[in-house]
A and B are shown apart, each in its own frame.
Chain A
Amino acid sequence: FSYFAFNNAEAAELQRLIAVEQQKAQFQAQVHNFTDVCWDKCMDKPSSKLDSRTETCLVSCVERFIDTTLTITNRFTQMVQKGAH
């Protein structure tokens, strides 16, 4: 009486489907993080709708945060490589 009598093909397909959902979940998690940070940067008093200035700020915030992440990663890599000599 086995609950998981999957053959190899079924197991591989299941793994693939789960990996897809995991990737979606990772995306969601990042959106939560960005929204958290960018809300503090961009939102003033809560109003009856999101005006275009705030909307632009949020978009820019996401882009600049990602740019910052890349800049730090690249520079840090260089620093580590220099240190290794």
Chain B
Amino acid sequence: MDSFGSDLSSGSSSGKIDPGTIMEQVKVQIAVANAQELLQRMTDKCFKKCIGKPGSTLDNSEQKCIAMCMDRYMDAWNTVSRAYNSRLQRERARI
């Protein structure tokens, strides 16, 4: 697991944190932030699309609309991700 050697440390007694652990935490934090961003934007869009005049509860059609909207939003996100990636590849190939 520790690919960086331990020539400096005398094992865990030096209190040295494994870079692998740091990278894991960095990746997790980024993933969490990404999910939060996705949910916030999705909620905004789907509320606009699905809820007309706000009633006293979310009725059945509103619930169904929200579920479909979520699926479509994620489809859209994936489509955009692929399109952006393609464009980046194309631009890099020109340089």
Contacts and interface: CB of A to CB of B under 8 A. Distances in A.
Given A1-B14, A36-B41, A50-B76, A62 B4 contact: no
Interface residues of B, number: 39
A62 B84 contact: yes
A24 interface: yes
A62 B81 CA distance: 9
Contacts of A49: 72, 75
A5 B8 contact: yes
A46 B72 CA distance: 7
B56 to A, nearest CB: 23
30 contacts: A4-B16, A5-B9, A5-B15, A5-B16, A6-B16, A6-B19, A7-B8, A10-B19, A14-B19, A18-B23, A21-B30, A24-B30, A25-B34, A28-B34, A32-B37, A35-B41, A36-B41, A38-B76, A39-B73, A43-B49, A43-B72, A43-B76, A46-B65, A50-B75, A54-B76, A58-B79, A58-B80, A58-B83, A59-B79, A62-B84
